[in-house]
Amino acid sequence: MQLVLKTDQAYLPVMGVTELLHEIEALPSEDRLRLVEKLVQLTEADVPESLRQSMAEAERGELIEMDEALKELDAP
């Protein structure tokens, strides 16, 4: 069954997730990279700044285990 989106000017086929993933997999690697970069830009606004900062700290290896942090707080 093919779903169709009706607009004022045209009928447009609606692609399912599986079909969309097959289309993406068929793209050349440069186009897939551009797509991923664009998706990151589009979704970045949904990620709180505090989480982005924490993720950057984790990538730099600046985080420590909670047990270690608690030990440091308890030390004189």
Task: DSSP for 23-35, please give it.
Answer: HHHHS-HHHHHHH
Residue 6 has pLDDT above 60, yes or no: yes
Lookup result for tokens 């047990």: 67
- The pLDDT assigned to 3 comes to 58
Residue percentage of the chain with pLDDT more than 90: 12
Question: What is the domain extent for residue 34?
Answer: 3-74
Question: How many domains does one find in the chain?
Answer: 1
Average pLDDT, the chain: 82
- The pLDDT assigned to 11 comes to 67
Residue type, 30: E
